[in-house]
Amino acid sequence: MENKVVIITGATSGIGKALAFEFGKKGSLLAITGRRGEELQAVANELINNGVSVLTLQGDVSNEADAKRITDETIKRFGKIDVLINNAGISMRALFENVQLEVFKKVIDINFFGTVYCTKYAMPYILESKGSIVGISSINGKRATPARTAYSASKYAMEGFLEALRMEVMKRGVHVLSVCPGFTTSNIRNVALTADGHPQGESPRDESKMMSAEETAEHIYYAILKRKRDLVLTTQGKLAVWLTKLFPLLMDKITYYFMAREEDSPFK
């Protein structure tokens, strides 16, 4: 991946930030995006201090114009795109009967349409470089969870999009990877939206027992390098996917009770 141009969306924290450092230390040229300008610049400064060539692009991937600008500015700076990592995402936690539809739409717009927009505008350059298109999905893209209807729907949509796209470009040398991390240490649960759109604040789960963002990023790096089709992470995540295929009704019940044990669960 040395001297490969890599776009990473949602790089201000969590998996996106860890990916920036993983690819940066391997000699990649980075274009990193995020909605929070100060945090994005702080990540960029740290990368630059470590000798990484990086372009910062503040913007919202759910805005089509911003998604186009990400590609345009990357080409202007580096002249090519080798890897697009669609990592930007947001979660939610509320029963569907209570969630405001604006919140539901916001999650879909960022997680799904953000991927669609960024991929659409980067696609001609990825075809030219015979590079990689990556979607950071979730175990929720294969095993939905209650109180996360919008998040689950967005990740199922991403999975379908990537699968169809993979077949379209499979004879043209382009690699499409779907990544389904399990529970990973990040701030995604802290900023997850509640029914009225406010961040929930404290994570309802024990973050110390999760796979680190850095370990997740390392797995993703090598999956891209080896041009794998799918990557499912954590033992728990793999077990959830496998059991869902074999015993879907049983997994409905297991998943319900597992999520109901969360702190401040909406089921209580």
User: From start to end of 15-106, where are the E strands?
Assistant: 29-34, 54-58, 83-86
What pLDDT, in 10s, does the model give residues 102-121?
999 999 999 999 999 999 99
Classify 227 in phi/psi space as left (phi over 0), alpha (psi -120 to 50) or beta.
left
Q: Are strands 29-34 and 54-58 parallel, antiparallel or unpaired?
A: parallel
Res. 189: pLDDT tops 60:
no
Residue 125 annotated among the catalytic residues of the structure: no
Active-site residue, selected from the candidate residues 117, 121, 125, 151 = 151
Number of domains in the chain: 1
Res. 203: pLDDT tops 60:
no
Does residue 261 form part of some domain? no
- The domain that holds 130 is classified in CATH as 3.40.50.720
Tokens of 65: 């114009």
Range of the domain at 153: 5-237
Does residue 98 form part of some domain? yes
What pLDDT, in 10s, does the model give residues 13-46?
999 999 999 999 999 999 999 999 999 999 999 9
Does residue 266 form part of some domain? no
Does residue 53 form part of some domain? yes
| Helix or strand holding residue 179 (H, E) | strand 175-180
Rounded to an integer, the average pLDDT of 206-235 is 91
